[in-house]
Amino acid sequence: MPIHPTAIVDPKAEIDPAAEIGPYAIVEENARIGAGTRLWPHAFVGRDTRMGEGNEVHPGAAVGHAPQDRNYKRGTRSFLEVGDENVFREGSSIHRGTEEGATTRIGSGCLFMATSHAGHDCRVADGVTFANCALLGGHVSVGNGAILAGGAMVHQFVRIGRLAMIAGGARVRMDVPPFMLTEHDGSVRQLNIIGLQRDPDIPDESVAALKGAFRALYREGLSLRDAIARLEKDFDAPEVVELTEFLKAESKRGIARPPRAGGRGNG
């Protein structure tokens, strides 16, 4: 479908002939729009944004705008890379990196519901769901298939593991390991059992192993170091190995702990 005559497309933008640019949409210089991607009326795609195929940018969404960072200098050339088949609903916003050459990356198959946000330099993997008003600060990483419920707020530099489920309105200040479900204060309440059961690639024996790993990590009063040692000694399921590697990796925020008895977990 041709570019609508009211759309504003910079001459240096690259638009695939199979893309659709709707009325009053804006595409800035050096942006690339892949085949089958649709920009709805009043959508915005910023400079140096590279979008794959089959994406949808709905009215009022801003994909690839300048970062909200005091360290950002006007004129700095930074980037946003977006995979395929993502949906950016009304008012959602994704920002480019801050430093010269820095890149924010969004995988494929993600859903950003209305007014959700991923800040500068984030790394969002495939199949992630952001419910309405879910917010990522800068430099956050999110693993495959994670879900952030409505109004969840994630502090900068936090890591969220694969298939983690973040509670609605949660204040996430510390890293959430793979396969976990959080409380509203960002502490870890339990395994994301429903998410595990729905994943056809995770067998029942791995779910059972993760239950044992969860007990060692969150129910037996072990230090993080001792819990990691227990996981390495007692479990060889691939998902527990993935969990262990996440726990051992460098963390700028620390690992989310269980809720405090009668109180808040990570406050």
Instruction: For residue range 63-118, list pLDDT tens digits in order.
Output: 999 999 999 999 899 999 999 999 999 999 999 999 999 999 999 999 999 999 99
| 196: Cβ contacts below 8 Å, ≥ 6 apart | 163, 179, 202, 206, 207, 210
The answer to whether residue 262 sits within a structural domain is no
The answer to whether residue 201 sits within a structural domain is no
pLDDT in tens, 154-205: 999 999 999 999 999 999 999 999 999 999 999 999 999 999 999 999 999 9
Residue 115, domain CATH: 2.160.10.10
pLDDT level of residue 259 (50, 70, 90 thresholds):
confident
What would the mean pLDDT of 246-252 be, rounded to a whole number? 97
pLDDT in tens, 205-235: 999 999 999 999 999 999 999 999 999 999 9
Q: How much is the mean pLDDT over the chain?
A: 95
Structural domain boundaries, residue 106: 8-139
Instruction: Give the burial class of 233: count Cβ atoms within 10 A of its Cβ; 0-12 exposed, 13-18 middle, 19 or more buried.
Output: exposed
As a whole number of angstroms, the distance between CA 186 and CA 166 comes to: 8
Amino acid of residue 72:
Y
Residue 254 has pLDDT above 80, yes or no: yes
Report in angstroms the alpha-carbon separations of 210 from 5, 178, 193, 206, 215: 55, 10, 10, 6, 9
Tokens encoding 164: 């983690």
The answer to whether residue 187 sits within a structural domain is no
- Number of folded domains in the chain? 1
The answer to whether residue 26 sits within a structural domain is yes
As a whole number of angstroms, the distance between CA 179 and CA 95 comes to: 27
pLDDT in tens, 32-53: 999 999 999 999 999 999 999 9
Residue 62's pLDDT is what?
98
pLDDT level of residue 267 (50, 70, 90 thresholds):
very low
- Residue 109, SS3 per DSSP: coil
Sheet holding 103-106, edge to edge: 14-15, 32-33, 49-51, 79-82, 103-106, 123-124, 141-142, 159-160
Residue 261's pLDDT is what?
59
The answer to whether residue 123 sits within a structural domain is yes
- 161 close to 178: Cβ distance less than 8 angstroms: yes
- 55 close to 79: Cβ distance less than 8 angstroms: no
The answer to whether residue 39 sits within a structural domain is yes
Report in angstroms the alpha-carbon separations of 86 from 123, 126, 133, 169, 231: 14, 9, 17, 23, 35
Residue 215 DSSP code: H
Residue 61's pLDDT is what?
98
Planar angle of CA 185, 129, 93, nearest 5 degrees: 90
pLDDT level of residue 2 (50, 70, 90 thresholds):
confident
- Residue 175, SS3 per DSSP: strand
Phi, psi of 194 (to 5 degrees): -60, -45
Tokens encoding 47: 């400079």
Planar angle of CA 186, 118, 121, nearest 5 degrees: 105
Residue 135 has pLDDT above 90, yes or no: yes
- Residue 152, SS3 per DSSP: coil
pLDDT level of residue 265 (50, 70, 90 thresholds):
very low
The answer to whether residue 22 sits within a structural domain is yes
Q: Which residues are catalytic?
A: 120-121, 138
Residue 1 has pLDDT above 60, yes or no: no
The answer to whether residue 72 sits within a structural domain is yes
Residue 157's pLDDT is what?
98
As a whole number of angstroms, the distance between CA 129 and CA 149 comes to: 8
Residue 263 has pLDDT above 50, yes or no: no
Q: Whole-prediction pTM value?
A: 0.94
